Amino acid sequence: MADDVQLYEGAEKTLRVLFGSSGVLREQSPGSESGRETLVDVTRTQWAQLLEPTGCTILSELRTSAACAYVLSESSLFVAHAEVMVKTCGQSHLLALLAPLLELARGLGLTPRALSYGHKAFACQDAQPAPYCDAFAAEIGELDAVLAAASPAAAAPTAAASVFTGPGDTYWVYHAAWTAPDSPASFTLPAPADFGALAKLEIMLVNPDTAALAQFDVAAVRDAALADPLVERPVTAAELLDMVPPARPVPGAGAEPAVGDSPLAGHLVDAHVFDPCGYSFNALGAPGLARATTPFATVHVTPNAPAPYLSFETSESSFAAAARALPTMLAKCRPQHALLVVTGAGDDKLAGADAVASLAARHGYAASTASNRPLPTKLDRPGACLVDLPAVYHLMPRPQ
């Protein structure tokens, strides 16, 4: 995750594809009763092969009958019966996964229904491979081309792209939706979906206090331990965010259930500490939880200068989730600025803006709603029904 300490890019590119309603399949074991293979049946070896063009490798996995979660050399991959979410950092080529993913799904009899792709501004854009080193229009062009080539002319999706700008940062997003087979006019997302019908909450901390992230610099902690055998072990990102109780593992990979009163109680968690620095954490909801969907959460930490970075993402799309996570992150990490992205919040966006502003103010930050400007795409069809664009908020420290 951090082989080149000086140039490592923490900001992730995120791709999420929903292949249809999975309500019938979610609580069934792979291949049981339904008689159908799903994306959960795809093996780790197959996913590793699909990921090769992106430059990412699989380090560890969690698996239930309903979903799989993989810690990657660059961030995470989550797989449900009819949905994939992958986010990759560094100089990865995430869009290289899209065409083979659609082909794989087609072989399983799955048809794409909705897609979301996006990322914040990179700290080192010039170091990114094409098309990410250019304007976002180049990424739009690649997405348009792959989706058009993968769909018959009569079944091509409708797409929309936007850029959200505000003080300190920029966030780009591309959404696509396919017309449902039984609806000639427009497509409405099926419900329920494995991970919440493209809903998500994402918090990105830019240039957080390096002292708060020092525990994720394994080399520095190791050197300190050699100098002083009584030095405390590095704490995990889960502890940092007060998301789960203290975990036993130290540097390495492992999975164990979260317990107690944690918001992730009953989930499987998988943590990996990178050498010389960096941290990834996946949490995957177990089947049978008293929730309408199979949730996921993931944390990634790039602690090293010149661009320290921390991100948190969950499929729970609500401002209540933001109210739980954001105060701890601001108080403990003190970022130079932060981005909050809420997708699928529906009519709560207006009330949510007030809630975010209030939360931020209590911790010395000013919150503003990012301005949204549409970007051209060859798959744009005026009047078509699309997935709601996210609500994007910028948080900046208030002047002292």
Over residues 327-386, the pLDDT tens digits come to 888 988 899 999 999 887 555 655 678 888 888 999 999 999 999 999 999 998 766 656
Chain segment 95-115, per-residue pLDDT in tens:
999 999 999 999 998 989 889
For residues 114 and 246, the model is more confident at: 114
77 lies in some domain: yes
Mean pLDDT over residues 185-198, rounded?
Answer: 40
106 lies in some domain: yes
Mean pLDDT over residues 41-52, rounded?
Answer: 96
Reported confidence tier of residue 292, pLDDT bands at 50, 70, 90: very low
39 lies in some domain: yes
What is the overall mean pLDDT for the chain?
Answer: 77
376 lies in some domain: yes
Terminal Cα distance for the chain, rounded: 36
Reported confidence tier of residue 87, pLDDT bands at 50, 70, 90: very high
> Among 10-14, 63-67, 207-211, 277-281, which range has the highest average pLDDT?
10-14
CB within 8 Å of 42: residues ≥ 6 apart: 79, 104
Whether pLDDT at 79 is above 90: yes
4 lies in some domain: no
Chain segment 251-285, per-residue pLDDT in tens:
333 444 443 445 555 678 888 888 778 888 888 87
* Lowest-pLDDT choice from 55-69, 70-84, 168-182, 296-310: 168-182
Structural domain tally of the chain?
1
Which pLDDT score is estimated for 283? 85
Which pLDDT score is estimated for 253? 37
Number of H helices, E strands in the chain: 7, 18
3 lies in some domain: no
Mean pLDDT over residues 44-63, rounded?
Answer: 95
Asked if residues 120 and 170 have their Cβ atoms less than 8 Å apart, the reply is yes
Which pLDDT score is estimated for 23? 36
Q: How far is CA 48 from the centre of its chain?
A: 19
Reported confidence tier of residue 233, pLDDT bands at 50, 70, 90: very low
5 lies in some domain: no
Which pLDDT score is estimated for 122? 94
Reported confidence tier of residue 228, pLDDT bands at 50, 70, 90: very low
Which pLDDT score is estimated for 239? 52
* Lowest-pLDDT choice from 22-26, 51-55, 151-155: 22-26
Whether pLDDT at 218 is above 80: no
Q: What is the extent of the structural domain holding 21? A: 13-190+197-397
Which pLDDT score is estimated for 257? 43
For residues 10 and 31, the model is more confident at: 10
**Tokens standing for residue 347:** 């009519």
Mean pLDDT over residues 113-122, rounded?
Answer: 94
Contacts of residues 250-256 at CB distance under 8 Å and 24 or more positions apart, as own/partner, are 251/218, 251/275, 253/59, 253/60, 253/71, 254/60, 255/60, 255/62
Task: Tell me the residue ranges of DSSP E strands in 121-183.
Answer: 158-166, 169-177
Which pLDDT score is estimated for 351? 62
Cis status, amide bond into 308, omega within 30 of 0: no
User: CA-based diameter of the chain, in Å?
Assistant: 69
Which pLDDT score is estimated for 137? 97
* Lowest-pLDDT choice from 145-159, 184-198, 215-229, 378-392: 184-198
The rounded percent of the chain whose pLDDT value lies above 90 is 41
The rounded percent of the chain whose pLDDT value lies above 70 is 70
CB within 8 Å of 380: residues ≥ 6 apart: 158, 159, 160
282 lies in some domain: yes
Reported confidence tier of residue 314, pLDDT bands at 50, 70, 90: confident
Chain segment 27-42, per-residue pLDDT in tens:
333 443 445 788 999 9
Mean pLDDT over residues 113-118, rounded?
Answer: 93
Whether pLDDT at 226 is above 90: no
**Residue type present at position 89:** C
**CATH code at 99?**
3.60.90.10
For residues 269 and 222, the model is more confident at: 269
